[in-house]
Structures are given as C-alpha cells and as structure tokens.
Amino acid sequence: MNPLNSIKGTLTLGFVLAIVVGLIVSMGFTGLNWFTLVRWFHILAGITWIGLLYYFNFVSTPAVAAANADKGGPGAAGISKYVTPLALLWFRWSAAVTWIMGFLYLAMTGNLGAFALGLTSSPVNAYQLTIGIGAWLGTIMLFNVWVLIWPNQKKLLGIVSATDEQKAAARKVAAMASRTNTMLSIPMLLCMASAFHGVLFVHP
C-alpha cells in the first residue's frame, strides 16, 4: 500500500526518512542531540501555524467573501462546515506546540533571559535580545489565537450559540486579531531567522 495515499502515511514516512537522515549524518557520533530535536519540533509546528495563518488571510477569507458575493454560486457553506473547523484545530494546537517547544528550547540552552531581552547580561546578550523580541511577538500571537480568534470563531461556526449581533462583533474581533498576527509574523520571522547570528544586521 502506498503510504502517500493518506496523510498519516505521508507524515509517518516523512518522520522515518528524517530519522534515517539523522542516523546517516550522525554516524561516528555518540548520543542524541535533544536540542536539535526540540528545535526541529518547534520549526515543524511553527511552519504549520504560520502556514495556516497565511492560508486564512490570503486564501480562505477572500475566497469566502467572494463566494458569499456570488449570488448564483455554491456559496461558502462547505468551507465553513468542513474546511474551517479542521484548519482551526491544526491552527490553534500548532500555535501552542510552537510556543511550548520554543520555550523548552530556550530553557534547555540556558537562554530564558531572552524574555528579558538579554538585559540580564552585561553587555546585553545580542542573541537573547534578538530571539527575545521574536519570542514576545510569538507570545502575543499565541494570546491572540487562544483568547481572541478561537473563542470568537466558535461563535461564527455555531459551536457556541450567539445572536446575529454577537456574531458580527465576533467576526470583527477575530478578523483584526488574525490580521494583527499576520503583521506580527513578519518581524517575528525576521528575528527567528537572524537570531543565531546574534544581530539583525551586520555592521561594516
């Protein structure tokens, strides 16, 4: 049976291949690099989270708006019933796993000072300052997911009963929180990508 015929099979095969690659690369070395594993899960979850964030903002929201405006079309009921709940499931939990794995990685590497933006060191720890800004942006984004986006989406999806007025208000709050996260993700990813260099930009 072809494992690529199912998402579970695809993911399983992907993890098996990753383990094989890891074993090949680590030949001649001893011990397991837990730092790399935690960072790997952090990155995997982060890609899932931000990918779905961009899907909602760049694809789903405009598509639903266009479907609702198309009076002779099939409408957006199918998206709301089948696609959005599943996407939100992966969205909110990948956000949680991303933050937890990131926190765990900072703790394991002795860099929890990042949450103080490296100011606990003298001179200021450039790595902790850079990754700390990204971590705080990610924390704000996580708050938006679980406190603003998900509770209001539950009203829009009918998981929680709400009046038309409450749904209208929920739509605005969820939309603004989602747009805010999209905006924050851009500098956050800059910080994450440049953190290992300790600085955002290289001075001449």
Kindly report the number of other CB atoms within 10 A of residue 192's CB atom. Answer: 21
Produce one character per residue of 4-24: b if its CB has 16 or more CB atoms within 10 Å, e if not.
eeeeeeeeeeeeeeeeeeeee
- pLDDT over 80 (residue 28): no
> Where do the structural domains in the chain lie, given as residue ranges?
1-31, 32-197
Closest CA to 45 of 2, 84, 98: 98
If you ran DSSP here, which 8-state letter would residue 199 be given?
S
pLDDT band at 195 (very low <50, low <70, confident <90, very high): confident
Using CA atoms, how far apart are residues 84 and 102, in angstroms rounded to an integer? 26
Q: What is the mean pLDDT of residues 124-152?
A: 96
pLDDT band at 179 (very low <50, low <70, confident <90, very high): very high
Query: 20 or 143: whose pLDDT is higher?
Result: 143
Query: 200 or 28: whose pLDDT is higher?
Result: 28
% of the chain with per-residue pLDDT over 70: 94
Closest CA to 195 of 140, 136, 129: 129
The pTM assigned to this predicted structure is 0.90
Q: Render pLDDT for 43-63 as a digit per residue (tens, 0 to 9).
A: 999 999 999 999 999 999 999
CB 53 within 8 A of CB 91: yes
Supply the angle between the helices 84-108 and 126-143 in degrees, to the nearest 10: 150
Q: What is the mean pLDDT of residues 180-198?
A: 89
Instruction: Tell me what pLDDT residue 196 has.
Output: 73
